[in-house]
Copies of this chain bind each other. A is one copy, B any other.
């Protein structure tokens, strides 16, 4: 368990003094389903219903600083937009080259704490970076991904997307597809989803890119889990196909994927078998595992999913601000 504050309940915190307020956003595991269902998702949905020009400004006068040790497009851009739409100003820096003589992460955070920033958005290249930053920071740290570790806001927007698309999460049959070994999106997502009731997971990956045993153990303690070697075999039995990028520059062994890549791709045959009410999610950017020529299929949800990220991040920022 993480030593971070965790909102446990939707009951107003004034009535539940033992429920700590949202302090940092570090790990998908810090959020429980009751808080998602009754606080975060309704807040995001309300923001999503509101015309942009009529949004409230709960972050007026606040300042967000982003510190990115790895490139990002979507995450930085959507947080910047989210903060700006709620009235905050945003600045930051990229620090993509890593040399031994670089400044320690903790020193950077301590210097930033000398300036009047209200939020630090951090993407780090090594697991645990966000927790290290939070340990010294005076202001909330938001984990925008730490290497092969966690990427909690991606997991939250993925879960929110299912909540919006299906109206519920309990009982969903979900195929996690592709490289499940080190993918932070699937790890974080699996942890979040495992809190719901009656989930059936299909883990669809090559042997060499299987989900890490500790994650599988966690899932098995809370849900039904089946390992599958070909998406086609179970396509007619799932509500959700969550497919991730097959060929990542991060892993040398990605090449072992090549021969069987077709087993882990959403092709016409998979779509033909998939129920009409199913949804295909992808965290983007995509590779050949989700061919653009199939984008017209209304079950392909990946762009709507990306758009949902804006509202989840707005909701998170407004909840962090309310707790300050």
Contacts and interface: CB of A to CB of B under 8 A. Distances in A.
Interface of A: 52-53, 61, 63, 65, 73-74, 76-78, 80-81, 84-85, 89-91, 93, 95, 99, 101-104, 106-108, 110-116, 247-249, 284-287, 292, 303-304, 306-307, 310
Which residue among A81, A99, A292 has the maximum number of chain B CB atoms within 10 Å of its CB?
Answer: A81
A85 B117 CA distance: 11
A8 to B, nearest CB: 32
Contact of A116 (B61, B81, B108, B284): B81
18 contacts: A53-B61, A73-B108, A77-B93, A78-B115, A81-B116, A84-B89, A84-B91, A90-B91, A99-B249, A101-B249, A103-B284, A104-B292, A107-B284, A107-B292, A113-B303, A114-B303, A114-B307, A115-B310
A17 to B, nearest CB: 28
A259 B207 CA distance: 50
Contacts of A101: 247-249, 285, 287
A132 to B, nearest CB: 12
A121 to B, nearest CB: 14
Contacts of A61: 53
B285 A115 contact: no
Nearest to A114: B307
A74 B285 CA distance: 30
A237 B304 CA distance: 60
A47 to B, nearest CB: 12
Contacts of A90: 91
Given A77-B91, A91-B80, A292-B106, A115 B284 contact: no
B285 A110 contact: no
A99 to B, nearest CB: 7
Nearest to A310: B115
Contacts of A89: 84
Contacts of A95: 73
Contacts of A307: 111, 114-115
Contacts of A114: 303-304, 306-307, 310
A292 B103 CA distance: 11
A76 B73 CA distance: 18
A287 to B, nearest CB: 7
A65 B76 CA distance: 13
